[in-house]
Amino acid sequence: MQVPIRKPGKYTHLKPDPHMTVEKFNELKNKMEHLKNVSHPRAALEVRRLAEMGDLSDNFAYSMAKGRLRGINQRIFEIEEHLKKAIIIKPGASDRVVIGSTVTVEVNGKQKTYQILGSSETDPLQGVISHNSPIGSALLNKKVNDIVRIKPKDQIIEYKIVNIK
């Protein structure tokens, strides 16, 4: 059986953002340990069991199990590489906005609070944005009372920095 060749997408070869909190680092480490100690042995055992059934060229279950094992191995490799290159975000007080800062801004008379972290931890609904996002990158290295202008589409939005934690 031949696997279809898919055209790579726009984000296929992007490297993962190395900036992460200690919590995210530990989460990835635990996930990798689970893959190594639980998922991989189970998948390898299943491949061995299915290989004993005889003709491997017509054994669809064997092919699927091998594919799952390859996927687990790839995921382990990706997580290991991500952890090797990790840059841990250390929260600390600063007079400027840095990665790890919690920033309160005023926009259109309303106050919003954003925490600026790495791309792998974003949750815009909870106010956690990436340092690579338009708002996050515009706020970096700014001080309290600075005004940041962001131009989405055909309008300009002004953000006034009220507080930095």
What pLDDT is attached to residue 91?
A: 77
Could you tell me what percent of the chain has a pLDDT over 90?
A: 70
pLDDT of 1 higher than 60:
no
Domains contained in the chain, CATH given: 19-88 (1.10.287.180), 102-164 (3.10.50.30)
pTM here? 0.82
**Tens of pLDDT, residues 28-67:** 999 999 999 999 999 999 999 988 887 767 778 888 999 9
Could you tell me whether strands 128-130 and 110-117 are parallel, antiparallel, or unpaired per DSSP bridges?
parallel
Residue 158 tokens read as: 């002004």
> Do 92 and 100 form a contact (C-beta atoms < 8 A)?
yes
What pLDDT is attached to residue 112?
A: 95
**Tens of pLDDT, residues 108-151:** 899 999 999 999 899 999 999 999 999 999 999 999 999 999 98
Structure-model confidence comparison of residues 76 and 61, the more confident one? 76
Query: How many Å separate Cα 148 from the centre of its chain?
Result: 26
DSSP per residue, 73-132: HHHHHHHHHHHHT-EE------SB--TT-EEEEEETTEEEEEEEE-GGG-BGGGTEEETT
